[in-house]
Copies of this chain bind each other. A is one copy, B any other.
Amino acid sequence: MTDALTTALQYANEHRQDFLAQLIEFGAIPSVSTDPAYKQAVHQAAEWLASQMRSIGIQKVTLYPTPGNPVVYGELLNAGSHIPTALIYGHYDVQPAEPLELWKSGAFEPAVRGENLYGRGVTDMKGQVMAALAAVEACLYAGIIPINLKFIFEGEEEIGSPSLDPFLADHRELLACDFAVNPDSGMIAADLPTITYALRGIAFFELRVYGPDHDLHSGTFGGAVHNPAQALCELIAGMHDAQGKVTLPGFYDSVRPLDPEERAELSRLPMGEDFYLAQTGAPALKGEAGFLPVEQTGARPTLEINGILSGYVGTGTKTVLPAWAMAKISTRLVPDQDPEDVKQQFIAYLKKNAPPTIRWEVIDHHGGKPSISDRHSPAIQALSTAMETVWGRHPLFKREGGSVPVVGLFQRYLNVESVNTGFSLYEDNAHSPNEKLHLPTWYKGIEALIHFFFNLAVR
């Protein structure tokens, strides 16, 4: 098996340019799932991915239609029934590319500059999907897939995986496995291999506030009615207190407290205030009092304004008192918060605080539960050893502030834990203009996945 490992690693090393060329092709497909205008491109990305999987030798590759975007399935189950089965997850959809004018090269024209590949989705997570496929390709070339693998790639992760939930419910047998592998996480820095053992959940709302039944002249009527944009600002301003705590009633009731040992470990991560200041460019940090930034972003729940709109926002001025205002608001949740509970808390806050001078409505976009994994499971240990082999140092263990609701879905429907990995970096601008992938780290990641597969088999 050592010879096969050597062969696989050598193959991966020699085919970096081919892997990159494939990723550039994949990244050029504008598979933006949140915008119906890109529906066809999302399907094209699914077809491209299926074709790529078939071409490297993955079996039973199938596009399963869903009410939304197709689920792409494949398998390689020749390792033997005594060998565990891993379910490799990924998503082929991407975030919108707006604001387009801030991109230095086309969002859907992936371009290499220096050590990085730039393009929407190259790090989140087309590059991660392709790293897994590249590792599989290398193992297949070496003649051995040391463990049994199943693959599931969805096209709705960026909109909350609405079709994946019923798909998992209907395909428990097809997807039966010992654990999932989710390469949608990242590393703290290029020289700091990282394993993520907890993910935040999410509850996403749109709050709409209605005042007058049409836009009014702000001179003629200003002063006698509650401006809906002002009312919305007042409601939003009240959602945090002076300590940076979220004020939704009961919001912290089911938050699992951090134990002193974990707080001590998290405090040793190389992610202090300077790290966050450098990564964000913010003039100063601000978060929930009494917690470190790494806790505020990973182990504590938050409420963020993702967007707000009211009135006239074009060139120049318009003296309008707008009829309505809206905000897109998302909460990030930690164990043991539940998105459905948080929705009720959000509504309770509005019932308590919205004045009679406006009408309001909440649109529930989607939710996903938080998750936390056992850091000492065999699969996580296999990954830890693989990373140590490639980077020459023990990986850091951290919580991730982002949300991967599918981890909770796998717990629920397949009764398995997820190994969260991935080779994106904080500086990669996921969800932002000039999203990028650090290619040296990506190539190491492919090697690490090859080691991971072999470690799993021999354990």
By the criterion CB–CB under 8 Å, are A304 and B227 in contact?
yes
Instruction: From known contacts A282-B357, A311-B305, infer whether A34 and B316 are also in contact, taking CB-CB under 8 Å.
Output: yes
Return the chain B residue nearest A285 by Cβ. B224
The 28 sampled A-B contact pairs (Cβ below 8 Å) are A36-B315, A96-B318, A159-B317, A160-B317, A202-B319, A211-B283, A212-B281, A213-B280, A213-B282, A214-B429, A217-B402, A219-B403, A221-B280, A221-B401, A223-B288, A223-B300, A225-B286, A225-B287, A227-B304, A233-B237, A234-B236, A283-B356, A283-B357, A284-B355, A285-B357, A305-B310, A306-B317, A307-B320
By the criterion CB–CB under 8 Å, are A332 and B282 in contact?
no
Q: How distant is the Cα of A45 from the Cα of B402 in the complex, in angstroms?
A: 54
By the criterion CB–CB under 8 Å, are B222 and A297 in contact?
yes
Does A172 count as interface, using CB distance less than 8 angstroms?
no
Q: Which residues of B lie under 8 Å from residue A402 when comparing CB positions?
A: 217, 219-220, 319
- State the Cβ distance, A279 to closest chain B Cβ, in Å: 7
User: Count of A residues near B, CB < 8 Å?
Assistant: 101
Q: How distant is the Cα of A358 from the Cα of B300 in the complex, in angstroms?
A: 22
By the criterion CB–CB under 8 Å, are A355 and B220 in contact?
no
By the criterion CB–CB under 8 Å, are A35 and B316 in contact?
yes
- Of A247-255, A259-267, A374-382, A430-438, the segment with at least 4 beta carbons within 8 Å of chain B is A430-438
Q: Which residues of B lie under 8 Å from residue A356 when comparing CB positions?
A: 283-284
Q: Which residues of B lie under 8 Å from residue A237 when comparing CB positions?
A: 230, 233-234, 236-238
Q: A204-B317, A214-B432 are in contact. List 4 more A-B contacts (CB 8 A).
A: A34-B314, A35-B315, A223-B300, A286-B357
Does A308 count as interface, using CB distance less than 8 angstroms?
yes
Interface centre among A317, A320, A330 (most CB of B within 10 A): A317
Q: How distant is the Cα of A225 from the Cα of B365 in the complex, in angstroms?
A: 24
Does A322 count as interface, using CB distance less than 8 angstroms?
yes
Return the chain B residue nearest A186 by Cβ. B220
Interface centre among A33, A95, A239, A366 (most CB of B within 10 A): A95
A 267-326 contacts with B by CB, 8 A: 276, 279-288, 293, 296-297, 300, 302, 304-322, 325-326
Does A411 count as interface, using CB distance less than 8 angstroms?
no
Interface centre among A98, A296, A359, A432 (most CB of B within 10 A): A432
Q: Per-position contact with B for A385-428: 1 when CB-CB < 8 Å, else 0?
A: 00000000000000011110000000000000000000000100
Q: How distant is the Cα of A327 from the Cα of B160 in the complex, in angstroms?
A: 30
Q: How distant is the Cα of A435 from the Cα of B161 in the complex, in angstroms?
A: 44
Instruction: From known contacts A98-B312, A304-B321, A319-B330, infer whether A200 and B229 are also in contact, taking CB-CB under 8 Å.
Output: no
Q: How distant is the Cα of A367 from the Cα of B200 in the complex, in angstroms?
A: 48
4 A-B pairs closest in CB distance: A213-B281, A219-B402, A34-B316, A307-B311
Instruction: From known contacts A287-B224, A318-B431, A433-B215, infer whether A305 and B229 are also in contact, taking CB-CB under 8 Å.
Output: yes
Does A226 count as interface, using CB distance less than 8 angstroms?
yes
By the criterion CB–CB under 8 Å, are B229 and A232 in contact?
no
Partner of A308 from B33, B233, B358, B359 at Cβ < 8 Å: B233
Does A78 count as interface, using CB distance less than 8 angstroms?
no
Does A216 count as interface, using CB distance less than 8 angstroms?
yes
Does A16 count as interface, using CB distance less than 8 angstroms?
no
Does A240 count as interface, using CB distance less than 8 angstroms?
yes
Q: How distant is the Cα of A229 from the Cα of B365 in the complex, in angstroms?
A: 20
By the criterion CB–CB under 8 Å, are B311 and A308 in contact?
yes
- State the Cβ distance, A431 to closest chain B Cβ, in Å: 5
